[in-house]
Amino acid sequence: MNPNSHRYEGGFPKIGIRPIVDRRKLVKAALAESTMNLAREAAAEITAVLRNPDGSPVEVVIFESCISGMTEAATCAEQFRKEGVGVLVSVSSGWCYPLETMEMDPTLPHAVWGFNGTERPGAVYLAALHAAHNQKGLPIFKIYGRHIQDQHEGKLPQDVRDQLIRFTRAGMAAALLRGKSYLSIGSVSMGIAGCIVDENFYQRYLGMRNAYVDMTEVRRRMEKHIYDEQEFQKAMAWAALHCKEGPDPNPESVQISPESKLKNWETSIRMTMIVRDLMIGNPRLAEKGYEEEAYGYNAIASGFQGQREWTDHLPSADVLEAVLCSSFDWNGIREPYMIATENDNLNAITMLLNHYVSYTAQIFADVRAYWSPEAVERVTGWRADGMAASGFIHLINSGPAALDGTGEQQRDGQPVMKPHWEIKEHEVQACLDAVSWRPTYMDQFAGGGYSTDYTSRGGMPVTMARINLISGLGPVLQLAEGYTIDLPEAVHEQLDLRTTPTWPTTWFVPRLVADDPVFGDVYTVMEAWGSNHCAVSYGHIGEDLITLASMLRIPVNMHNIETSRIFRPSAWSAFGTKDLEAADYRACAAYGPLYG
């Protein structure tokens, strides 16, 4: 049995399209079919691009007839509610009656595309409708093509398509959060404030629940064998074949025996299976008589405290975090899990948002150090050049950097991190071959265990992001688009050895922006970062994160995204058009969190 097969038994949210027409008989007759065609065109574009977390195309529901008044609007709302629609797109090719056709559920992300034609100006309806929404405190996204089209065209221009996809991608991410949970395994690790679970944030901003399990539950399940024994044997064989051990970094006097190291592997594999089962459940456990344990916590993200109450006497969680966060394991290629080391739930949620808009596995990392060109030259004798000429940031952490982060997957000959449904078996093997599993430093992890040692390949476009909670303000998002870079091997070795060389390293350079107070140079990006952790996603997804943050009413306090790529609800412009960052703060404060 594949334990991932039941992961989304509740199904996925759908996207609902509302065709809107003027209710006057002759006008309705003239525009109904062309409006439905616009809805079909929009649906086709969405399903061709967007995917559910399991890789299947998102499902789009088009209301069966055009909406021209309150009765049809109510019927549409009820149909969409029954069908699990979580994102709305209204489409109109001409003038309609805004107050009689609008959808008023404040929790559903909503965009309106008004066809930009002059014969039957849908743009006029769009303008009137978004004004009505803004007046009623129900912000929506405007989709308005730059160029006027002929009425008979009925096609999506590129700019309309781009806005439609950006909105629906972010809207699906918001909808996927609703009703799910974050599972906290343990509590606060080593005094890190990001481990504190703020239920107000989860409930009001994300629409999520919180679940809590003490780490002793993992120990109980190990001791009582509350896991799939057959899968455990399969996993151990996989690890023996594919997880090559690297040199032990500890002095010989404190190195543990080969027998103890094997037991650490066994414990680490059991931990991996148990944490996964805690998150999503496992029907196999019910077959063994453990009905309650088989349920799981409906968790789409979780964190394991580990340090130090666990790691002082048991193997670290590095193996479970690295394996679960990757797009593959002993059961094959599958969607990655979002697991935060040290139970840093704020980083876990950032990983989750990144994943839902990029579809890829995530790198969890410390924002360890900024290396200036001068410091690099002093230490190594090498004068940084190329993309590294202004310095770079060392991203590194002990376990949960997904193995996809090696960059050994490829597209057009370039290193990438792919959605799991695009990954090939030989790419899985290439990722595994690039990783050395190193015994942990015994002075840090007295219980032993293994960490992943690899270096991300340079040349990958990536986005570094983090949500922080600020007293008196609430959640804020910061992000930096940039690239992974390669260093000369001797330089890498010298710099890597100065920290913890048994952990995965990503050398990162943010994209700089001239005269920007934060992105003017690499140092100020590091200096302005709001925490010790970050989540790194493949791809330049900053624009999608900004759109998603505006839906959730989370302001963005730091980014390097061009103004032309920013897409927020139309009401945001009423809060200021010259300083978009300040307007974003004012709008988020005025509307409050999405779920009140």
For the annotated binding site for Mn(2+), the residues are: 342, 366, 533
CB atoms within 10 A of CB 388: 22
Instruction: Look up 366 and say whether it is catalytic.
Output: yes
CB atoms within 10 A of CB 443: 9
Residue 474, by phi and psi: left (phi above 0), alpha (psi -120 to 50) or beta? left
Phi, psi for residue 221 in degrees, rounded to 5: -65, -35
Which residues are CB-contacts of 223 (< 8 A; sequence separation ≥ 6)?
Answer: none
- State both tokens at 303: 């964190």
Q: Are 194 and 346 in contact (CB under 8 A)?
A: yes
Binding residues: 342, 366, 533
Catalytic residue among 231, 277, 342, 427: 342
Q: Which amino acid is at 432?
A: L
- State both tokens at 283: 């029907």
The Cα–Cα gap between 114 and 68 comes to 15
DSSP structural state of residue 511 = P
Q: Are 283 and 294 in contact (CB under 8 A)?
A: yes
Q: Are 299 and 183 in contact (CB under 8 A)?
A: yes
- Collapsing DSSP states into helix, strand and coil, what is residue 295? helix
For the stretch 512-518, contacts whose Cβ atoms lie closer than 8 Å and that sit 24 or more positions apart, written own/partner, are: 512/390, 512/560, 513/560, 516/560, 518/558, 518/560
Q: Are 365 and 534 in contact (CB under 8 A)?
A: yes
Beta bridge partners of 437: 245, 452
Q: Are 504 and 454 in contact (CB under 8 A)?
A: yes
Our measurement of the distance from residue 248's CA atom to the centroid of its chain's CA atoms, rounded to an integer in Å, reads 34
Catalytic residue among 366, 408, 481, 584: 366
Phi, psi for residue 407 in degrees, rounded to 5: 80, 20
H or E element at residue 92: strand 85-92
Q: What is the CA radius of gyration of the chain?
A: 25
Q: Are 406 and 517 in contact (CB under 8 A)?
A: no
Q: Which amino acid is at 510?
A: P
Helical residues (DSSP H) of 381-488, grouped into ranges: 425-433
The Cα–Cα gap between 168 and 59 comes to 12
Q: Are 399 and 324 in contact (CB under 8 A)?
A: no
Q: Which residues does the annotation mark as catalytic?
A: 342, 366
